[in-house]
């Protein structure tokens, strides 16, 4: 590892030029961001933590706007995911950039900075190694703060020295623990990370002096448990751009990504039950036992077995599987702050987890993750299906349709106007979207 890793990182952040296809992918990311943020910002879905966030951090400064934007865009846990980061880059990166956007925004500069921020997030995930997440850190919060500071430094056109200092200041503020999953503290992580990024770049821009080297190295060393690979932070930068390959994964379901393959296996089994003449209403009564198997450690994120409300249910394999079998979908309104549905919870109580010891541990390669769901019926029959993470990720999410569906919750908005504005054809469109977040 070079002793000048931060200098190399800063030069790549400032000097690289994302290709046109990367900027096109960034536009899709913007649309997904607003699909996830608007229901909370506009009050269509209750978030009891939001009032406290706005009271303690009134969004009248760039730093506090970044926190607010990060919070509302991650509140539903419906926002995009990046496998290299093993977290959610856009909620932190784009929130910081939007908070720093003035009255005459340069849309291309914002999209370029966003693409660079996603690149930085993916690279930081690779450099931190496989143990960072397993140790209990929330990568969105820890590595996301540094990635967002990289994007913001580029957006504000900081000097290389200022950028190095900003990266170090963000790294020294990096914090967030997975044990907060299932509570309002998880989206607060995203907000605090975006706020840390904005603080870092504004301090550096104002002349604040911090260490320009060694801080990112320390972050990776202290958070990597010996699995860190700092050389991956800069090697083959932008070849390909991480926003393209492996790319942002846009969620189809408003739950932890670690439940999605299990939900899709449950959908397949539900269809088979219906084809065998069991009515939808009779499915819960027909099932005696449900087993879900997966590689060891693949249930690290969806760790809540008996959720009490919809927010906790987002992180419950049991509840999501039961909902998929019971409802035939995983609807957004089932995963808010209300108590869990007792009928779904009763079915979820029949789900048993099983770590498949013949599979490689999830920490070695999360891309090999799978979920095998097996139903045992009261008549003795068994039905089983397996869906891999790769299969789930390979299915493209129609983000335009996702946004249009979300906008049905917001009938007071002009849906065609909002969808059109997400194309960012004019600077004014971006300003209108930001205004919707601030209302």
For the chain, how many structural domains are there in total?
Answer: 2
Considering the domain architecture, whether residues 230 and 266 belong to the same structural domain is answered as no
Q: What is the pLDDT of residue 2?
A: 47
Per-residue pLDDT of the chain (439 residues; tens, 9 = 90+): 446 899 999 999 999 999 999 999 999 999 999 999 999 999 999 999 999 999 999 999 999 999 999 999 999 999 999 999 999 999 999 999 999 999 999 999 999 999 999 999 999 999 999 899 999 999 999 999 999 999 999 999 999 999 999 999 999 999 999 999 999 999 999 999 999 999 999 999 999 999 999 999 999 999 999 999 999 999 999 999 999 999 999 999 999 999 999 999 999 999 999 999 999 999 999 999 999 999 999 999 999 999 999 999 999 999 999 999 999 999 999 999 999 999 999 999 999 999 999 999 998 888 999 999 999 999 999 999 999 999 999 999 999 999 999 999 999 999 999 999 999 999 999 999 999 999 8
Considering the domain architecture, whether residues 74 and 191 belong to the same structural domain is answered as yes
Considering the domain architecture, whether residues 85 and 63 belong to the same structural domain is answered as yes
Considering the domain architecture, whether residues 76 and 41 belong to the same structural domain is answered as yes
Considering the domain architecture, whether residues 408 and 369 belong to the same structural domain is answered as no
Q: What is the pLDDT of residue 4?
A: 87
Instruction: For residue 335, give the CATH number of its domain.
Output: 3.30.1330.120
Long-range contacts of residues 205-211, Cβ cutoff 8 Å, at least 24 apart: 205/156, 205/158, 205/162, 205/166, 208/165, 208/169, 209/165, 210/165, 210/168, 210/169, 210/172, 211/165, 211/168
Tokens of 70: 């990060």
Instruction: For residue 156, give the CATH number of its domain.
Output: 1.10.4100.10
Q: What is the pLDDT of residue 1?
A: 41
Considering the domain architecture, whether residues 285 and 176 belong to the same structural domain is answered as no
What's this model's pTM, rounded to 2 decimal places? 0.96
Considering the domain architecture, whether residues 301 and 201 belong to the same structural domain is answered as no
Considering the domain architecture, whether residues 201 and 334 belong to the same structural domain is answered as no
Q: Residue 365: which domain range?
A: 257-394
Q: What is the pLDDT of residue 439?
A: 80
Q: How far apart are CA 177 and CA 232, in angstroms?
A: 24
Cβ-based neighbour number of residue 324 at 10 Å: 26
Considering the domain architecture, whether residues 34 and 51 belong to the same structural domain is answered as yes
Q: Which residues pair with 385 in a beta bridge?
A: 373
Q: Is 344 helix (H, G, I), strand (E, B) or coil?
A: helix
Q: What angle separates helix 185-205 from helix 139-155, to the nearest 10 degrees?
A: 30
Considering the domain architecture, whether residues 311 and 267 belong to the same structural domain is answered as yes
């Amino acid at each position: 590892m070079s002793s000048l890793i931060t200098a190399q990182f800063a030069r790549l952040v400032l000097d690289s030029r994302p290709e046109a296809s990367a900027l096109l992918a960034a536009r899709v990311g913007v649309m997904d961001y607003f699909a996830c943020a608007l229901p909370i910002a506009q009050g269509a879905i209750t978030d009891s933590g939001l009032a406290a966030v706005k009271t303690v951090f009134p969004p009248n400064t760039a730093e506090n706007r970044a926190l607010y934007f990060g919070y509302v865009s991650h509140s539903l846990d419906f926002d995009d995911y990046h496998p290299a980061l093993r977290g959610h880059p856009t909620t932190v990166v784009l929130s910081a950039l939007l908070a720093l956007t003035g009255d005459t925004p340069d849309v291309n500069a914002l999209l370029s900075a966003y693409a660079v921020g996603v690149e930085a997030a993916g690279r930081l995930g690779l450099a931190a190694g496989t143990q960072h997440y397993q140790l209990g850190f929330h990568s969105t919060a820890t590595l996301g703060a540094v990635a967002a500071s990289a994007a913001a430094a580029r957006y504000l056109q900081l000097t290389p020295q200022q950028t190095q200092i900003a990266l170090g200041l963000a790294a020294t503020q990096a914090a967030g623990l997975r044990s907060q999953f299932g509570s309002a503290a998880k989206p607060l992580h995203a907000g605090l990370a975006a706020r840390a990024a904005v603080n870092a770049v504004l301090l550096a821009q104002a002349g604040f002096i911090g260490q320009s080297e060694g801080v990112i190295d320390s972050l990776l060393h202290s958070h990597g448990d010996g699995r860190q690979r700092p050389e991956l932070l800069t090697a083959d930068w932008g070849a390909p751009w991480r926003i393209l390959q492996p790319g942002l994964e846009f969620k189809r379901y408003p739950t932890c990504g670690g439940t999605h393959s299990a939900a899709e296996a449950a959908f397949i089994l539900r269809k088979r039950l219906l084809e065998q003449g069991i009515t939808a209403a009779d499915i819960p009564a027909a099932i005696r036992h449900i087993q879900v198997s997966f590689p060891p450690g693949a249930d690290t994120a969806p760790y809540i077995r008996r959720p009490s409300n919809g927010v906790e249910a987002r992180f419950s394999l049991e509840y999501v599987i039961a909902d998929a079998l019971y409802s035939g979908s995983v609807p957004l309104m089932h995963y808010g702050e209300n108590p869990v549905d007792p009928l779904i919870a009763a079915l979820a109580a029949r789900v048993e987890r099983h770590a498949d010891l013949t599979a490689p541990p999830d920490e070695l390669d999360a891309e090999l993750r799978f979920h095998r769901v097996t139903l045992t019926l009261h008549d003795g029959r068994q039905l089983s299906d397996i869906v891999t993470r790769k299969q789930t990720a390979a299915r493209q999410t129609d983000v335009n349709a996702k946004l249009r569906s979300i906008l049905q919750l917001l009938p007071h908005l002009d849906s065609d106007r909002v969808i059109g504005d997400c194309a960012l054809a004019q600077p004014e469109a971006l300003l209108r979207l930001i205004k919707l977040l601030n209302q």
